[in-house]
Structures are given as structure tokens and as C-alpha cells.
Amino acid sequence: MAQFQEVIKQSSLHPKPAGLVLQYGTAGFRTNANQLDHIMFRMGLLATLRSKSTKATIGVMVTASHNPEEDNGVKLIDPMGEMVTPAWEVYATQLANAEQDDLLTALKDIIEKEAINMNQEANVFVGKDTRCSSASLSQAVLDGVSSLAGHSKDYGLVTTPQLHYMVCCQNTGGKYGEATVEGYYNKLCQAFIQLTKNASNCTDDQKHVHVDGANGIGALKVREMEGHLKKKLQISLFNDGCQGKLNHQCGADFVKVQQKPPTGVKINPGERWCSFDGDADRIVYYYTDSEGQFHLLDGDKIATLISTFLKELLTQAGLDLKIAVVQTAYANGSSTHYLEDTMKVIVRCTKTGVKHLHHAAQEFDIGVYFEANGHGTVLFSKAAEEKIQLLVKNPNTDDERKRAALMLQNTINVINQTVGDAISDMLLIEAILAIKGMTVQQWDAIYSDLPNRQLKVKVSDRRVIDTTDAERRAVSPAGLQEAIDSLVKKYRQARSFVRPSGTEDVVRVYSEAETQESADALAHEVSLVVY
């Protein structure tokens, strides 16, 4: 009992409002920041238990990503830098919702179920985004860790993917890199410089990207990183947090959902722009053409560009590795057709949430996964990395194959394989465009998106909607799917589905069709059926 005395004492300083019930959703807990103090303390406790149980360092990131400034949230990071395993999401929900007097029972329940040795040391890495509430909430996490006598390292302001990276580096004994922000910049930037060394097709003009930092942590970190790029990439930074509000009228989610540029920036025709989200784990690209028309290059276009590049390198290197692209139901139908029919790569569709995509991507030699909203990365199996390394080292490898293998190696190093990372993805995309001497318009022209629309519908209880087939069909309430099917039939090349959001109290409606008018009308009609 003595070991829990500090928990009892500290938890009374982080009390749970009676009756409040929250769920570990698509990406952790997320709601208005003033409801989260007890959650943070308890996630500090849980991370400490997870660390004892895995005998490894665990991460806790305080952020609500693309949500408004008033919200906050928390995500747990497992030893290899991946999202916490689903069984522990269940524990997270149980611990979060135990009433104040039941907290110790809930804690002991987990200790017993997982047979945790409480004498085992625990290490927890903590990070936070730039929200006003993040400082006190991350302190609550640290209090949770210390009340179970765990060790913690507070990384302070970092992007979500940076914290994932630190956790992975720490648990692989430095093999993945050095567990410092400086180490992260060095690894990624050196790989970028090596990768673009021979990009002879690229003019200086093309080595210029405009970044919308969503007034968040990504902007801060791009500033920090810039010097490491040794002027090999020119970055013009907007929405750097000095004036605007986090995610307000800017950022990846705004640009993707609204299908327009951030408010208040002037985009000249042909300039290459990208937007990060509030914790810099998402990125989308865009430009306007000479008629002032806006063009979005989302996660699907990014996945296509990256997989085309990798496939070409594999051919040049003479390596027979299985490459697949993992998407969700939100992937534009045109991208799926292009990948399957023209590029002939394997395409998998999973439920929304990167943990599902990440898992599916692990089944291939090279798994490229992206959500349409720009959250994604590339995974290389250990065997694939070894084959590439062997080719680089083999003195008998001919020049062309060696060059391709070296580029693959540098590509691996520029990528943050632990989770989608706006900074790392940006460097990879910039490198590919430079190497191919490709403009953003040429990239966009690889295939044409089907017009689409996303809507949010407020309902009294979004959980009455249950889905199947990677969320593409609703199984409840009765009659909903049939109603959607009959609406879809009215339009050409149409598709639509609904699902309850895991991060907001809304039902999301998605539609695509041959024309924007049809996609808009279909989304509207489907939202009336949901309501």
C-alpha cells in the first residue's frame, strides 16, 4: 500500500469531475482542455505501468493536433515509437473513467492483469504542443509518473512525430538515431542533403517551398531546423504563431476540408505551398494555377509520388521487394485506380486512424501509408533495409545499381518511420521533386482527383452508427446504408459513406462524384439521412 500513498496524495490534486466519461479515441483522449487535468495525471500513471510492463521507455504527448486552441488531448507512444497497443487503449479508458475513490482499484486491476513487477524501473518521455493549456497538462502527466516513482524526461515543446522518434531512438540503443531534437535534425537534414546532391534537373527557383505552420509547434521546429539544411532548401514560413491562432483558418485540416488556401496568405501562381497541422504529423501540398484556381495535393497524391519514386529506385537497383500502399475509405477513388491499374502496386484499405494503416503497412517489404488528410509515412521491413545495405556495400555492385541503392538508403534516413511526420514528409517530397526535376503541376497531373466533399453532422449520439468493410458501409442504424446506396445511384462515378468521428463529437459524411456539384449534392443529401 505504501507505494500507492503518493498516488492517493497526488491524485487528490488532479481530481476527476464526478460522472465525466471520456474515451480513448482515434488518436487518444481529446476534448476541451479544462476537462483533462485528471486524464493527464492518470495517463502519467498508465505510461509508467506500460514502461514497467514493457521494460522500455514510453512516450506521452500532450496535444490535440488539428483541434481548436481550446481543446487539448494526449497520445501514448509504445516502445518502437508506434501508437500504444489496443489492449492498453482499453486500460486507458478504464483508468480515465474510474471515479476518484475507485482509482486505486482500477490501477491495481491493470497491474494484476498484466502481472506488472512494480519494482521494475520506469522511464517516460513527455512532450507538448504550443497550446496555452499544454504546460499545466504536461505537468499533470509528470506528476502521474513521479507518484509511481517513475523517471521522466520532459522534452518540452516538440512535434508529436519528434517525440515518437525520441522514444524509438531510446529503445533501440541509438540504432535509429540519437534521442535528441538536434539528433533528429541532423539525421533528416543530412539524408536530405545527400539525397539531393545530384539533383541536376533542379533549378534554384524550384528549391523553394512555402510552409503554413498552422500557428503551431511545426512552425517553431521548421525555424529550428532551417540552419541544418545548409541552404539546400529555401523555406518561406507563414502562420508561424507570432500573430494568428492555432489551426484557425489555416493548417492542413482547414486546407484539406475547406479545399482552399489558409486565410490571409497571397499565393502566386505556380508557387509550391504546404500546410502542417497543429502537432506537425500531417502535411498537404497545394498551388494555384494561372487562372487563380486552387489545386490540392493531399495524402493520396503524396503516397502516389513517393511510391512511384520508390518503385523506380527498386527497378534501378534490381531489387525485388514487395511494395504496397495503404489507404482509408477517404482515399480519392482516382488515386486507388491509378495505383492499382497503372502503377500496379498492391493497395490495402483500413479503418481510419494511423494505427490501423501502420499495422497494415508492416506486412510488406515497403509499406507506404497515408490518410487522405496527409497523415502518413513509409515503413521498410528489416529484411528490405538489409538488402539495400548489402547492395550499397557490395564491391561488385555496378554503378547504376549502387547509385539507386544509395538513394534508397538516404530515403530511409530522411523518413521518420515511427509515425506520419510533416517535417520529414516535406523533406522527402522536396527531395523527390528536386531529383525528378518535377514541378508541383507535373506532380498534380499524375492523375486527376474525383471531386469530393466532406461534411460534419452533429447528432445526439454518434455512436449509434456502426460500420464495416473498413468503414465503407454502415451496419446500423437499420436502413441507413440502403438510403445511402439509393442516393449514390443517382450520380455518376459516385461513392459515399458515413462514420462517427473518433476525435470530435460529430458524424463525418464523405462523398465523391463525377462533378463537384454532384459530390456536394450527394454529401448534403446523405447528411440529411444521417441527421
Binding site per annotation, positions for substrate: 371-373, 499-503, 508
Region of 6-14, 131-139, 489-497, 499-507 interacting with ligand NG1 (CB under 6 A): 499-507
Check: CB of residue 62 under 8 Å from CB of residue 24: no
Count, residues near Zn ion per rule CB under 5 A = 4
Residues in the chain: 531
CA angle 148, 132, 142 (to 5 degrees): 10
Question: Which of 507, 505, 506 has the alpha carbon at shortest distance from 496?
Answer: 507
493 near ligand NG1, judged by CB under 6 A: no
**H-helix or E-strand spanning residue 5:** helix 5-11
C-beta of 30 vs 348, nearer to Zn ion: 30
Q: Which of Zn ion, ligand NG1, none has residue 333 at its interface (CB below 5 to 8 Å by kind)?
A: none
The alpha carbon of 328 is separated from its chain's Cα centroid by a whole number of angstroms, namely 13
The residue within the footprint of ligand NG1, chosen from 508, 525, 526, 529 (CB under 6 A), is: 508
71 near Zn ion, judged by CB under 5 A: no
**Strand pairing class (376-380; 366-370):** antiparallel
Three-class SS of residue 326?
strand
Q: Which of Zn ion, ligand NG1, none has residue 279 at its interface (CB below 5 to 8 Å by kind)?
A: Zn ion
Closest residue to Zn ion, judged by C-beta, is 65
- Dist. CA 220–CA 210, nearest whole Å: 15
Considering the complex, what minimum distance in angstroms separates the CB of residue 463 from ligand NG1? 12
Considering the complex, what minimum distance in angstroms separates the CB of residue 472 from ligand NG1? 13
Three-class SS of residue 500?
strand
491 near ligand NG1, judged by CB under 6 A: no
Check: CB of residue 283 under 8 Å from CB of residue 252: yes
Considering the complex, what minimum distance in angstroms separates the CB of residue 366 from ligand NG1? 22
- Dist. CA 487–CA 333, nearest whole Å: 18
Question: Which of 78, 50, 62 has the alpha carbon at shortest distance from 171?
Answer: 78
Count, residues near ligand NG1 per rule CB under 6 A = 14
Region of 132-140, 270-278, 346-354, 378-386 interacting with Zn ion (CB under 5 A): 270-278
- Dist. CA 342–CA 47, nearest whole Å: 45
279 near Zn ion, judged by CB under 5 A: yes
Q: Which of Zn ion, ligand NG1, none has residue 85 at its interface (CB below 5 to 8 Å by kind)?
A: none
Considering the complex, what minimum distance in angstroms separates the CB of residue 503 from ligand NG1? 3
The residue within the footprint of ligand NG1, chosen from 65, 308, 334, 452 (CB under 6 A), is: 65
Catalytic annotation, residues: 65
Residues of each annotated binding site = 65, 277, 279, 281, 371-373, 499-503, 508
The 369-408 site mask, x for binding ligand NG1 (CB under 6 A), equals --x-x-x---------------------------------
Q: Which of Zn ion, ligand NG1, none has residue 501 at its interface (CB below 5 to 8 Å by kind)?
A: ligand NG1
The residue within the footprint of ligand NG1, chosen from 7, 27, 191, 202 (CB under 6 A), is: 27
Cross-strand bridge partners of residue 510: 454, 497
Region of 60-68, 254-262, 286-294, 343-351 interacting with Zn ion (CB under 5 A): 60-68
Q: 3-state DSSP: the chain helix, strand, coil percent, rounded to 5? A: 45, 20, 35
504 near ligand NG1, judged by CB under 6 A: yes
Considering the complex, what minimum distance in angstroms separates the CB of residue 73 from ligand NG1? 9
C-beta of 330 vs 338, nearer to ligand NG1: 330
**What is the identity of the amino acid at 57?**
T
258 near ligand NG1, judged by CB under 6 A: no
Three-class SS of residue 75?
strand
23 near ligand NG1, judged by CB under 6 A: no
162 near Zn ion, judged by CB under 5 A: no
Three-class SS of residue 226?
helix
**What is the identity of the amino acid at 58?**
I
Sign of the CA dihedral with 335 first, then 340, 344, and 349 last = positive
Phi (first) and psi of residue 337, to 5 degrees: -60, -45
Region of 4-12, 440-448, 472-480, 501-509 interacting with ligand NG1 (CB under 6 A): 501-509
Cross-strand bridge partners of residue 366: 323, 380
**C-alpha cell read off for 295:** 489545386
Considering the complex, what minimum distance in angstroms separates the CB of residue 375 from Zn ion? 7
Considering the complex, what minimum distance in angstroms separates the CB of residue 469 from ligand NG1? 17
C-beta of 261 vs 353, nearer to Zn ion: 353
* Helices marked H in 29-158: 37-54, 86-97, 103-113, 134-147
352 near ligand NG1, judged by CB under 6 A: yes
Residues of each annotated binding site for Mg(2+) = 65, 277, 279, 281
**H-helix or E-strand spanning residue 428:** helix 422-436
**What is the identity of the amino acid at 464?**
V
497 near ligand NG1, judged by CB under 6 A: no
452 near ligand NG1, judged by CB under 6 A: no
The residue within the footprint of ligand NG1, chosen from 53, 503, 511, 527 (CB under 6 A), is: 503
DSSP string, 11-64: HTTSPPPTT-----BBTBEEEEGGG-HHHHHHHHHHHHHHHHHHTSEEEEEE--
DSSP 261: P
26 near ligand NG1, judged by CB under 6 A: yes
* Helices marked H in 227-350: 251-258, 299-317, 333-337
330 near ligand NG1, judged by CB under 6 A: yes
277 near Zn ion, judged by CB under 5 A: yes
Residues 6+ apart with CB under 8 A from 32: 70, 71, 72
The residue within the footprint of ligand NG1, chosen from 172, 190, 441, 501 (CB under 6 A), is: 501
Binding site for Zn ion (CB under 5 A): 65, 277, 279, 281
Binding site for ligand NG1 (CB under 6 A): 26-27, 65, 330, 352-353, 371, 373, 375, 501-504, 508
